[in-house]
A and B are shown apart, each in its own frame.
Chain A
Amino acid sequence: MTEKEDLETRLKIAKSKLDNKNTKENKKEGIFLGNAFKLGTELVAAVAVGVIIGFILDNWFGTKPLLIILFFLLGSAAGIFNVIKAAKKMQQK
């Protein structure tokens, strides 16, 4: 009986220690590093998608340079939008 109680109290102490550690150190560092990797591609991908859409629409309507320029700009805007959104999400945490 005493052995079991001893084990239980030790488990409780260990668990509370682990919880503290998790919330304080490990978790945050991992999330920040992950977020840092996220931002760069977020910006580039939107620009690439914008250019691809512009290229396809240009071929469709035969307005060669016009739509690709327009969608490049829109894609850049979308990329910056994405980064701002991601940064806002980071600040919430």
Chain B
Amino acid sequence: MATNPMHQFNVYKIGPEIKINGVDLSFTNSSLFMLLSAVFIFLFLLFGTRQKKIIPGKIQLISEMLYDFITKMINDTAGKKAKPYFPFIFSLFIFVLFCNMIGMLPYSFTVTSHIIVTLAFAMFIFIGVTILGFVIHGFKYLKIFVPSGVPIVLLPIIMIIEIISYLSRPVSLSVRLFANMMAGHTMLKVFGGFVISLGLIAGWLPLTFSVALTGLEILVAFLQAYVFAILTCIYLNDALNLHH
């Protein structure tokens, strides 16, 4: 096994190289793990909803709790108007969650530890929400750059600041998820390397750290998926209910 802690983030091709119009569309380990998490989600929800008992079994209970959790989150942050967007937010949350959690298994690959993946999610959300805002409110949507109760002298500066803060949304959304996942996995690998190099005498100390860090990483994996989903709800709320 490689001792380089960054080795785990390597993307390599599986199978033949596929090129269409000069665009590399080869199947990589990243796509394999995305596919795997999609399959896991499908199986999990299929088993969870196959038998609809009054007193639910374990899998049914978990999937019902997930449904409840997301419904509550959307209601609390974006209100009733956001109900039609439930499928999108639910699939976003559960996909990020499963990618993070599958990344916690040994020898696996964490899809969300690459900024291009998270940035693609974030740009999709950002562009989608912006289009949604313009479709619902028309040009009134530009009002979110003009906060009420600001003196006219300060207005140009405030507007530029507001525009920068609006443009920073996809960056903060994607960097947060990517940085948390990459930092956590690198740290786990570094501590794992310490265990080997310190050997039987002093290796126990980093081993205990490693165990604790694994627990922390599972928490972070869940929390980052949650934060990703809740921020999507907040941006959606800004686009649906225009008040500043």
Whether the Cβ atoms of B172 and A41 lie closer than 8 Å is yes
Task: Flag whether A44 is at the interface (Cβ < 8 A).
Answer: yes
Q: Of the listed stretches B23-31, B78-86, B191-199, B225-233, name the one at the interface; the rest are far from the partner chain.
A: B225-233
Chain B contacts for A38, CB-based, 8 A = 176, 227, 231
Q: Determine the interface band of chain A, counting residues with CB < 8 A from chain B.
A: 20 to 34
By a CB distance below 8 angstroms, the chain B residues around A30 are 223, 226
Classify the secondary structure of A's interface with B: helix
CB neighbours of B176 from chain A (8 A): 37-38, 41
Which range contains the number of B residues in contact with the other chain?
A: 20 to 34
Q: Is B167 an interface residue (CB 8 A)?
A: yes
| In the complex, chain A residues whose CB is within 8 Å of the CB of B227 | 34, 37-38
| Docked complex Cα distance between A30 and B176 (Å) | 17
Which positions 9-41 of chain A face chain B at CB distance < 8 Å? 30, 33-34, 37-38, 41
Q: Please tell me if the beta carbons of A41 and B175 are within 8 angstroms of each other in the complex.
A: yes
**Main secondary structure on B side of the interface with A:** helix
B164 to chain A, nearest CB (A): 4
Contact flags B195-239 to A (C-beta < 8 A → 1, else 0): 000000000000000000000000000011011001100100000
Given contacts A37-B180, A44-B175, contact A78 B231 (CB under 8 A): no
A42 to chain B minimum Cβ distance, whole angstroms, is 5
Interface membership of B179, Cβ < 8 A = yes
Contact (A34, B226) CB under 8 Å given A41-B172, A49-B168: yes
Point out the residue from A41, A42, A75 that lies within 8 Å of B164, measured CB to CB.
Answer: A75
Q: Contacts of B162 on A, CB cut-off 8 Å? A: 78, 81
Q: Is the CB of B223 within 8 A of A78?
A: no
Q: Mark B131-170, 1 if CB is under 8 A from A, else 0.
A: 0000000000000000000000000010011101101110
Contact B172 A53 (CB under 8 A): no
Query: Is A77 interfacial (CB 8 A cutoff)?
Result: yes
* Contact in complex: B226, A74 (CB < 8 Å): no
Is A68 part of the binding interface, using a Cβ–Cβ cutoff of 8 Å? no
- Give the interface of A toward B (CB within 8 A): 30, 33-34, 37-38, 41-42, 44-46, 48-50, 53, 71, 74-75, 77-79, 81-82, 89
- Beyond the given pairs A41-B175, A46-B165, A53-B164, 5 more chain A to chain B contacts, judged by CB atoms under 8 angstroms and listed by A's residue number, are A37-B180, A37-B227, A45-B168, A45-B171, A77-B161
Q: Lowest 8 A-B CB distances belong to which pairs?
A: A45-B172, A78-B164, A46-B168, A45-B171, A78-B165, A41-B176, A45-B168, A49-B168
